[in-house]
Amino acid sequence: MAVIAGIEFHKVKQPLNQPFITVLQKVQEREVTIVIVRDAEGREGYGECVAFDTPWYTEETVTGSRFVMEQVLAPLLLGGQMEHPAETACLFSTVKGNHMAKAAVEMAVWDLFAKRQGLPLYEFIGGVYAPIPAGVVVAGEMEDLSQNIKMAIDSGYRRIKLKISPDTDVALLKSLVAANPEISFYADANGSFSGRALEELLAFDQAGFVLIEQPYGEHEWEAHRIARSKMTTPICLDESIHSLEDVKRMAEQQAGDVIVLKMGRLGGWAETLKVVEFCRNEQIGMWVGGMIEFGVSKAHNLALASLPEVKLTGDFSDSGHFWQTDIVSPEIYVEHGKIKLSESPGIGYRLNI
């Protein structure tokens, strides 16, 4: 039994080393909220809220999620007796939506419980100790594309995700993919083929991508079903997947082959673990997505990627990719294309804020 005796929120804001450009937004600076929960013995658990400044990726925002965490979720959490961190999601069940806010608080509680048991988080959730393959998203200026790919490869990355849209030069991408046969390339459209002719998407089918992520809008199930039936490249859904129900819908409607796990979008550890179990049983491919996040969120993501069912390489760049200095120590770093799991209790990283 544990009591959550305290909760704190800290603003973290840093410029990115390089702008991160998608069809949805150009991100040059990142603000997140770090959540710290405490038990009666003074142990701490850490979470990170990955909502953006404005609602361009999901409806949530930094300001709105901070309000929900502080004024709505914290009172539901504080003071109650808990036997398992999965109970957090039950405490929040009367609050609609706000998945990123819920996930951040939940993450902190799961970290705290793992630390109470003296277990690394990956072990607490049933993961396996193994180096996690790194993956980077090249999303800078178009004219720097070849150079950025080369730099990623030189840094040891063997999985590279490129952002695509109907305006992308397919021939250029094809040649870059063909020139680097040792690299797994993913393509992410962030819904940009919405309302466009199917042929525009089909032009990317023979480009050599391992998968194409979210060609259409989050609610465009039928468009995804049609694309999947016409393409050989697997379709992967990101923005469409907010819950286990959405994954079931994808399976029923044959609207995709693979999903991106993002704890913030799914509402936290409890829902994410249900999704992982469903996907394992249905043989739906999974990988862990990134949110231009700091080390706290990344450490939770690394634990998630340690589950043997999560077989595809995720968006795992090192601390230095986005940040001058990360907020965790030690920093997260990539060695020979892999990231080591921390064996310290909980997320296994100290917080420097």
**What is the closest distance, in whole angstroms, from the C-beta atom of residue 225 to Mg ion in the complex?**
19
* Token pair recorded at residue 158: 């063997």
Q: Tell me which stretch binds Mg ion (CB under 5 A): 20-28, 39-47, 203-211, 237-245.
A: 237-245
Is residue 163 annotated as a catalytic residue, yes or no?
yes
* Token pair recorded at residue 108: 């902190």
Q: DSSP labels for 264-275? A: HHHTSHHHHHHH
- Sign, CA dihedral 176-179-183-186, equals positive
Q: Is 190 in the site for ligand OSB (CB under 6 A)?
A: yes
Residue 330: asked if its preceding bond is cis (omega within 30°), the reply is yes
- Cα distance between residue 140 and residue 251, in whole Å: 33
Task: Count CB neighbours of 352 within 10 A.
Answer: 11
Site string for ligand OSB, 133-172 (x = CB under 6 A): ----x-----------------------------------
Contact with ligand OSB (CB under 6 A) among 111, 123, 238, 318: 238
Task: Count CB neighbours of 179 within 10 A.
Answer: 11
> According to CB under 6 A, which residues from 304 to 323 bind ligand OSB?
315, 317
86 alpha carbon, distance to own chain's centre = 20
Residue (177 or 261) nearer to ligand OSB, CB: 261
In terms of Cα–Cα distance, which of 164, 126, 157 is closest to 308? 126
Size of the site for ligand OSB (CB under 6 A): 11
Of 262, 274, 298, 338, the catalytic one is: 262
Is residue 248 annotated as a catalytic residue, yes or no?
no
Question: Residue with the closest Cβ to Mg ion?
Answer: 238
Residue (148 or 317) nearer to ligand OSB, CB: 317
**What is the closest distance, in whole angstroms, from the C-beta atom of residue 99 to Mg ion in the complex?**
16
Name, in order, each residue with C-beta under 8 angstroms of 256's C-beta and a sequence gap of 6 or more: 224, 228, 234, 235, 236, 237, 240, 250, 284
Residue (91 or 162) nearer to ligand OSB, CB: 162
Residue (238 or 271) nearer to Mg ion, CB: 238
Phi-psi region at 266: left, alpha or beta (left = phi > 0; alpha = psi -120 to 50): alpha
> According to CB under 6 A, which residues from 243 to 302 bind ligand OSB?
289-292
Contact with Mg ion (CB under 5 A) among 39, 238, 246, 271: 238
Site string for ligand OSB, 32-71 (x = CB under 6 A): -------------------------x--------------
Q: Is 188 in the site for ligand OSB (CB under 6 A)?
A: yes
Q: What are the two backbone dihedrals, phi and then psi, of residue 184, each rounded to the nearest 5 degrees?
A: -85, 120
Q: Residue 267 binds what, of ligand OSB, Mg ion, none (CB under 5 to 8 Å, by partner type)?
A: none
Residue (152 or 327) nearer to Mg ion, CB: 152
Residue (91 or 312) nearer to Mg ion, CB: 312
Q: Residue 290 binds what, of Mg ion, ligand OSB, none (CB under 5 to 8 Å, by partner type)?
A: ligand OSB
Q: Residue 235 binds what, of Mg ion, ligand OSB, none (CB under 5 to 8 Å, by partner type)?
A: none
In terms of Cα–Cα distance, which of 221, 264, 257, 214 is closest to 239? 214
Name, in order, each residue with C-beta under 8 angstroms of 11's C-beta and a sequence gap of 6 or more: 31, 32, 33, 34, 66
Of 150, 163, 174, 274, the catalytic one is: 163
- Cα distance between residue 345 and residue 202, in whole Å: 47
* Contact call for residues 306 and 299 (beta carbons, < 8 A): no
Binding site for Mg ion (CB under 5 A): 188, 213, 238
Catalytic machinery residues: 163, 262
Binding site for ligand OSB (CB under 6 A): 57, 137, 188, 190, 238, 289-292, 315, 317
